Structure 1
């Protein structure tokens, strides 16, 4: 059961005390995998995925029956510095598109048999420009974390979180740079398609923001100073899923930046998560490498919205279906040599 998020200390404590996977179920699933009618390792990563999933669900022969996709939307004050090819009004318009079922993520969630929820976070009140002050106050960060925390359905058995927020590859790049070091150019990409001058401007903005908040603290402090409401809400949902032992499929660059804040704040905070895909945003692969997550897919996606994570739901479903549905050698009457 999820504790009520009354302050950031409660959130940090919940991360630290989050349960691990069920070792008994993990071992039983591994044992079952060794008895299935196939050569050892013949299903490659699908075998590892199914065993991992079984451990988190506490069931050696699990099913994926109730996946949930949640899209969070937020606006960013830093867009006033011209970091995006699109105006912030598009965020509101896309939320309406989500709500009417017209976006790519709606189709991908439906194809995966997932429910889909949309949460818009104060779109009429963008975060502050992080080159001049922290993007959020502690109260604003807590409110956004709480939105994500409370958005997770306790009855879900798999979670994908996505986002919509014009300009949000800029805070994601700033978060990655602050967490992992290096130059801003290492982490800053073209996002929705800015030209060379736009990329140079965006890199400048990331450099200034990271320098201003160089002494922010841990991942949650960096999230407050450089992030956005939708990024914080994703972090809150990923953390809640850990408490509830709901496995998570991470989406792209922005989702991974949110997840990285959790990993920095608490070791092992992402043990219940796999990377759904590697996006075409240049630095995403580097973030995944830092997190120790090997992507399931690499299809050149750069849409956001949770699209890559949702697409990977059927990969995990297939892995679990093979694990739980295949006959053992004994059941099938097949000699195992």
Structure 2
């Protein structure tokens, strides 16, 4: 994926999002009807196989090279006490990912997925977005392109996640600016802050909305004003994956919030996306409803770092295995309905 040469190129991509291959979907649906089972008896596994077929353009879709991409960034708003952990934890966790010691290392391996970790200027946090845009236009474009860069030609499933102390506050600000509602509707405990911490987060989101109230509301402007580098990178990866026909599995609230500014103007941005799970962060269920996504799993997870999405990838693999490896009634010599 070559990325986006300019803000105009990014906006042009959003205005020309390709759709799935309907003939491949039809071929996959026809095969589902011939497999040795009552129609619909595998439930959503059948739908997943047809869904992936449409985006891969294959009647028998596969995951030959699934990739987990975890983006990491730091946030200037941490100075307001919005997290239970210090900003230094972002870089420390990146080191843990690279040393193989985090949950996502184990879960990606269990799902047969390659893991790539992309830290984004961790020594240079975004600006405090209660007073100024989080990023300059150039910084935001660079983050979008860092995300697009993980979409290589050989990747046929992309699982996305993030790491960034303070980023659940940025996610709440993105949702509030994109979809409306009070700051309190979108703010949750994140890393586990108490009631006073939640109140601080609400105040930060309210201040951000006020600071940028008169600014343009395009997807790019919202991402750069109240987002973060890792969040913009997720948005860039999702758009690049769409252009390449790659299915995306989204993780939790923060990962999904990267699409809020785009979905506000281009609701079909989620057409190639699967919500891996619904996290325990209160705003996630509300956000998924606005994005038109039904989560595969609800396990009470709230870790981030693509953990829930990686578990969901195992379900997607199971769906494709059943689709490709089951015998048809004719092959098995079994009488059909």
Question: What TM-score comes out, normalization by structure 1 length?
Answer: 0.98
Which residue number in structure 2 is paired with residue 315 of structure 1? Answer: 315
Stretch of structure 1 that moved more, 214-223 or 308-317: 214-223
Q: What is the SS of the residue equivalent to 2:317?
A: helix
Q: How does 1:17-36 map to 2 (within 5 A)?
A: 17-36=16-35
1:3 Cα deviation (Å)?
Answer: 4.3
Name the Cα RMSD after superposition: 1.0
For residues 1-337 of structure 1, the aligned pairs below 5 Å read 2-215=1-214, 216-337=216-337
- Cα distance in 1 for partners of 2:45, 2:89 equals 38
Of the structure 1 ranges 313-322 and 13-22, higher mean CA displacement relative to structure 2 is found in 13-22
- How far, CA to CA, are the matches of 1:261 and 1:40 in structure 2? 38
Once the two structures are superposed, what CA deviation does each residue of 1:155-194 show, in whole Å capped at 9, x if it has no partner? 1110011111001000000111111111111100011111
CA contact (8 A) 2:179 2:264 kept: no
How many angstroms does 1:268 deviate by?
A: 1.2
Aligned CA distance change for structure 1 residues 3 and 13 (closer, same or farther; 3 Å): farther
SS in 2 for 1:69: strand
Corresponding residue SS for 1:34: helix
Answer yes or no: is the 8 Å Cα contact 1:99–1:118 preserved in 2. Answer: yes
Gaps (5+ residues) in structure 1?
Answer: none
Structure 2 counterpart SS, 1:290: helix
Contact 1:66 1:114 in 2 (8 A): yes
Contact (CA 8 Å) 1:251, 1:306: kept in 2 or not? yes
What whole-Å deviation, never above 9, does each CA across 1:66-121 have from its counterpart, x for those lacking one? 11000110000011111111100000100000111110001110001000101110
Judge conservation of contact 1:220–1:265 (CA < 8 Å) in 2. Answer: no
- Superposed displacement of residue 267, structure 1: 3.5
Q: CA deviation at 1:220?
A: 2.1
**d(CA) in 2 for partners of 1:290, 1:329:** 40
**Would the aligned equivalents of 2:280 and 2:300 in 1 still touch at CA under 8 Å?**
yes
1:71–1:306: 8 Å Cα contact kept in structure 2? yes
Contact 1:95 1:118 in 2 (8 A): yes
The answer to whether the 8 A contact 2:146-2:233 is kept is yes
Structure 1 Cα separation of the partners of residues 143 and 47 of structure 2: 34
**1:265 shift after superposition:** 4.1
Q: 3-state DSSP class of the match of 1:270?
A: helix
Whether the aligned pair in 2 keeps the contact of 1:239 and 1:262 (CA below 8 Å) is no
State the shift of 1:153 in Å: 2.3
Contact 2:2–2:148 (8 Å) recurs in 1: no
Deviations 1:181-212 (A, max 9, x none): 11111100011111111111111111111122
